Amino acid sequence: MASNKRMKGVSVTLPVYTYNFATPLTGKKSNDSDHTHKWSVGFKGFHGDLSFCIKKVVFRLHDTYPNPVRTIEQPPFELQETGWGEFEVLVKVYFHPSANEKAAQLYHHIRLHPYQDDPSGGPWPKDKPVTCFLYDELVFNEPTEAFYQILADNNVVGSSGLPLRKYTGKDYAVPPFSVQMEQEELDRLEKAQREVNQQILQLRQRRLALEQEKVSTN
Amino acid sequence: MNPRENTEQSLSVQKQSDSISRDIYALAGGAPPIAFVKPTFKAKYNTKQKAKSWIQQSFTNPARPDDLVLQHWIPEHKNNEEYTFAKFNRVIDVPEYTNEDYDKHLIDSDWSKKETDYLFQLCRRFDLRFPVIEDRYSFEDKYRTMEELKDRYYTVQRKLIKARPHIPGEYQQERQALIQQYAFDKRKETERKEALIGLFNRTKEQVEQEEALFVEARRIELNEPRLSREREALLNALQLEQAQQAPPAPLTPTTASSSNTTTTNAIGVVNGNATNASAGGSLSTPGGIGIAGGTASTGGLDNKKKKRMEESGTGPAAVAAAGSGSSINNSGANKKNRRISNASSGILEDVVPERKEKMIQGVYVRSQKLPVVTKQALQQKLLKSMADLDIPVRPMMPTNQIVQKYDILHHSLLHMLELKKNVDKLEAEHRTKKGQTARKQPPTAGAGPRDKRRKQG
C-alpha cells in the first residue's frame, strides 16, 4: 500500500493544547467536601475541531473517581466532572488509523484554585472560572503518505494555526497562545542566552588569567 | 562361599545400623571407588553341556621353510584344517635384480653395489619397515638417514620398472602409474621431517603465541566484511566533511538568503561588525566575533524586528544562528547548513553537542523532549540559574524553535556552571598561594636592600 509508505525526512507539527476550567460550587452540595468545584478538562487544537486526524481522546482521571477511564470519541474532546482536589489527568490521543501511529500521551494538571490575583486588581471573583491552558506540539516524524495528505488538506502542514496576537477579549475559553507570545518567549530566551554567553566569556578570561598566573609563579 | 556370605551379611548389617544419608556420606569424602570391591558375579559351571572331544594332532606350518612337525590339541571338528596362524606370514615383494640389471641401470655414485644389496636385504628382512631398517642399518659405519634409504630404494624401483621389457598387453599408462607410485622427493621429505621435528619440539610459549596469532587471524577474517564496511563509511564521512568544510563562508550567506531576508541582513551586519569586535571588547577567539556581532546586530534589528515578526520570527534567531547554527525549519539542506556553521563557529562549538540528524519515525510530544538533568545537585543549580535569568522550567509555548533554544541554553548553562566551578577552584588555589608567599615576605624583605648594596659595590 503506497499510502502506508513513510515520507522520509518529513516532519509535521500539530500545535495543540490541553485546558481546564473550574468554578467553585455553591449551594447545598458545597457542604459535602467531595464536591467543592465543578471542573472540565479538554483537548483542542488550532485547526478546527481536529476530527480529521484524531479518532478519540481518552482521559484517565484519578483512581478515586469511578470509571476513571473516560473516552470521548467526538469533538469537542472535553469532559466535565466535580471534585475537590487538583490532580494530573493522563490525556491519551488516538490518531486516525491511516497514520499508523501509537497514541500520544499528554499530562494536564487540573487547576481549581486561582493562584494569581485577578487582573482587575482585587481577589478573584467567585463566579469567574479558573482557567489553565497548556500548550504543546505533536510532532509527526516521517508520517505515512495517507496521513500526510489528511494533514495537508486541513492546513496543518503550512501554517501553525496560531493567532497573530494575544487574545484580549472577554471569552475565558480562548487560549492566550499566539505568534506574539512565541516571539516574546523567544526574545526572553535570546536575552538569557546572551547573558549566559557573556558570563561564559568572562569566566573563560578569568580562568585564563588565573592559569597564566599559576604558571608564572610556579 | 561361606566366608563371602558372611561378609555380605556383615556388610548389610553394618549398613542398617550406621546408616547415614548418601548425600551426607558424600560430603565426608564418600565411599571409595567400587573397583576395590570384588565383583559379585561369578559364572557358574555349566553342567548341562556335553563334553567336547579334542584330539592331539601333529601338523606342519606351511609358513616355515623347513618341515618341522609339531603337535597340538585341536577340537575334533577343526581337524584337517590349515594351520590358523600360517596366513599371517605375509611377505612383501621386494623386487630382485641381477648383476647385469645393476650394471645396466642402477649404478649410483653414492651407493656401492654392496651397500645396495645390503639395503635390499634389510628391506626384505624387515618388510620395508624403514624406521626399523634405519635403526638396524650398519654398513661399514656409514650413517644413512631414512630419507636417503628411502630415496635409494625408490629410485631403484623406478629404474627397474622402466627397464623392464615390454610385456604384451600392457599399456603405457599402467607403467607410468606404477612409476608414479614410487615417486619420492628426498629434499622435500627431509624438509618435511625437519619441520615436523621443529613442530614437535616447540616450547610452551611458542605454542601459546601461535594459538593467539591464530585466534587473531580468525577474528580478523570473521570481522572482515564489517570492518571494511566501517572503513568505507568512515572514508565517505571524512570526504563529505572535507567537501562541506571547504567552503563554509560562502555557504552560510547563500543558504541563508534562500530562506529569509532578515537572515542575510543579520549576517551582513555580523561581518560588518567584525571590525568592531576589537573595539567592542578584548575578544581573541573568532567565535567571539559571532557573538559580539550578534549582540550588536540585534540592537540594530530591534526596530525591524516588530515589522518582520510575522515571518516565522527568525530574525534574531538567525543572528544567534550565525554563531550557533540555523534554526530554520526546512529539513535537509538547512540541517547541513547548521552543521557547517557549527563547525566554523567558536564559542558554542564545544558547548552544544553535534545535533543528531537522524529522525526517529513516529509521533512524539514536543514538551517531553526538553533536556533533563540527571544529577540532583546539578539540577538544583541549573534551576536556580534559570530562575535568575527569569526563564521558566517549562516553556509556555514549546514550539520547535523554542525547544531548540531551550536545549542550547541548557547546555550553555551547564558549561557556565562548570567554568564557574573551575574558576572558583583556581581562585582558591591562587588565594592560598598568595597567603603562603605573603608569609614568606617579611623574612626576605630585609635581604632586599642588602642585595642592592652588594650589587652596587
pLDDT in tens, B63-100: 888 888 888 888 888 888 888 888 888 878 888 888 88
Domain that holds residue A143: 11-163
User: Where residue B296 falls among pLDDT bands split at 50, 70, 90?
Assistant: very low
Do A53 and A156 share a domain, yes or no? Answer: yes
Do A155 and A192 share a domain, yes or no? Answer: no
Q: Does residue A1 fall inside a structural domain?
A: no
Q: Does residue A59 fall inside a structural domain?
A: yes
Predicted confidence (pLDDT) at residue B37 exceeds the cutoff of 90: no
Please compute the mean of the pLDDT values over residues B98-125 and round it to a whole number: 87
Note the pLDDT of residue B360.
Answer: 81
**Interchain proximity B412–A200, CB inside 8 Å:** yes
The answer, for A90 touching chain B at a CB cutoff of 8 Å, is no
Name which of A136, A185, A189 is nearest B366 (Cβ-Cβ).
Answer: A136
Do A106 and A196 share a domain, yes or no? Answer: no
Residue A160 CA neighbour count, 13 Å, CB half: 26
Q: Does residue A184 fall inside a structural domain?
A: yes
C-alpha cell at B436: 603562603
Name which of A11, A192, A205 is nearest B409 (Cβ-Cβ).
Answer: A192
- Beta carbons of B324 and B330 less than 8 angstroms apart: no
Average pLDDT score over chain A: 86
The residue among B303, B352, B399, B406 with the most chain A CBs within 10 A of its CB, best to mutate, is: B399
CA distance B309 to B303: 11
Neighbours of B402 (CB within 10 A): 24
Q: Does residue A111 fall inside a structural domain?
A: yes
Find the residue in B nearest to A102 (Cα): B363
If contacts are CB pairs under 8 Å, which of residues 307-336 in chain B contact chain A?
Answer: 309-310, 313, 316-317, 320, 331-332
CA distance B382 to B413: 7
In a 3-state reduction of DSSP, which class is residue A136?
strand
* pLDDT tens sequence across B228-280: 888 888 888 888 777 666 554 444 444 434 444 444 444 434 344 444 434 43
- CATH of residue A141's domain is 2.60.40.1970
Do A132 and A200 share a domain, yes or no? Answer: no
Q: Does residue A142 fall inside a structural domain?
A: yes
Do A107 and A143 share a domain, yes or no? Answer: yes
Number of structural domains chain A divides into: 2
Predicted confidence (pLDDT) at residue B452 exceeds the cutoff of 70: no
Q: Does residue A169 fall inside a structural domain?
A: no
The residue among A93, A193, A212 with the most chain B CBs within 10 A of its CB, best to mutate, is: A193
Do A158 and A186 share a domain, yes or no? Answer: no
In angstroms, the separation between the Cα of residue B215 and the nearest Cα of chain A is 43
If contacts are CB pairs under 8 Å, which of residues 105-144 in chain A contact chain B?
Answer: 105-106, 135-142
The answer, for B359 touching chain A at a CB cutoff of 8 Å, is yes
Average pLDDT score over chain B: 72
In angstroms, the separation between the Cα of residue B362 and the nearest Cα of chain A is 5
Query: What ipTM, to 2 d.p.?
Result: 0.86
If contacts are CB pairs under 8 Å, which of residues 15-74 in chain A contact chain B?
Answer: 15
Find the residue in A nearest to B283 (Cα): A201
Note the pLDDT of residue B368.
Answer: 86
**Interchain proximity A138–B364, CB inside 8 Å:** yes
In angstroms, the separation between the Cα of residue A196 and the nearest Cα of chain B is 7
Do A112 and A206 share a domain, yes or no? Answer: no
User: What is the Cα gyration radius of chain A?
Assistant: 24
Do A70 and A22 share a domain, yes or no? Answer: yes
What is the percent of chain B where pLDDT is above 70? 65
In angstroms, the separation between the Cα of residue B239 and the nearest Cα of chain A is 23
**Interchain proximity B364–A217, CB inside 8 Å:** no
Sheet holding A130-141, edge to edge: A77-83, A37-45, A11-24, A130-141, B362-365
Q: Does residue A63 fall inside a structural domain?
A: yes
* pLDDT tens sequence across B390-441: 888 888 888 888 999 999 999 999 999 989 998 999 889 888 888 887 776 6
**With the CA atoms of B186, B191, B197 and B200 taken in that order, what torsion angle do they form, in degrees rounded to the nearest 10?**
-130
Note the pLDDT of residue B248.
Answer: 46
- Beta carbons of B26 and B47 less than 8 angstroms apart: no
Residues 6+ away with beta carbon under 8 Å from B347: A197, A200, A201, B285, B287, B288, B290, B291, B323
Query: How many residues does the structure list for chain B?
Result: 457
**Interchain proximity B316–A104, CB inside 8 Å:** no
Q: Please list every residue in chain A whose beta carbon sits closer than 8 Å to the beta carbon of residue B412.
A: 193, 196-197, 200
What is the percent of chain A where pLDDT is above 70? 90
Do A122 and A37 share a domain, yes or no? Answer: yes
Note the pLDDT of residue B15.
Answer: 54
Find the residue in A nearest to B365 (Cα): A138
Predicted confidence (pLDDT) at residue A96 exceeds the cutoff of 80: yes
Name which of A9, A13, A186 is nearest B405 (Cβ-Cβ).
Answer: A186
Lowest mean pLDDT among A94-98, A128-132, B4-8: B4-8
CA distance B161 to B380: 100
Q: Please list every residue in chain A whose beta carbon sits closer than 8 Å to the beta carbon of residue B432.
A: none
Find the residue in B nearest to A95 (Cα): B363
Find the residue in A nearest to B298 (Cα): A190
The answer, for A11 touching chain B at a CB cutoff of 8 Å, is yes
Do A143 and A185 share a domain, yes or no? Answer: no
In angstroms, the separation between the Cα of residue B368 and the nearest Cα of chain A is 9
The answer, for A164 touching chain B at a CB cutoff of 8 Å, is yes
What does DSSP say about strands A77-83 and A130-141: parallel, antiparallel, or unpaired? unpaired
Please compute the mean of the pLDDT values over residues A31-48 and round it to a whole number: 83
Note the pLDDT of residue A3.
Answer: 65
In angstroms, the separation between the Cα of residue A148 and the nearest Cα of chain B is 13
Q: Does residue A103 fall inside a structural domain?
A: yes
Do A30 and A107 share a domain, yes or no? Answer: yes
- Beta carbons of B308 and B315 less than 8 angstroms apart: yes
Predicted confidence (pLDDT) at residue A90 exceeds the cutoff of 90: yes
What is the percent of chain A where pLDDT is above 90? 34
* pLDDT tens sequence across B338-361: 444 444 344 444 445 555 567 788
The answer, for A189 touching chain B at a CB cutoff of 8 Å, is yes
Do A58 and A109 share a domain, yes or no? Answer: yes
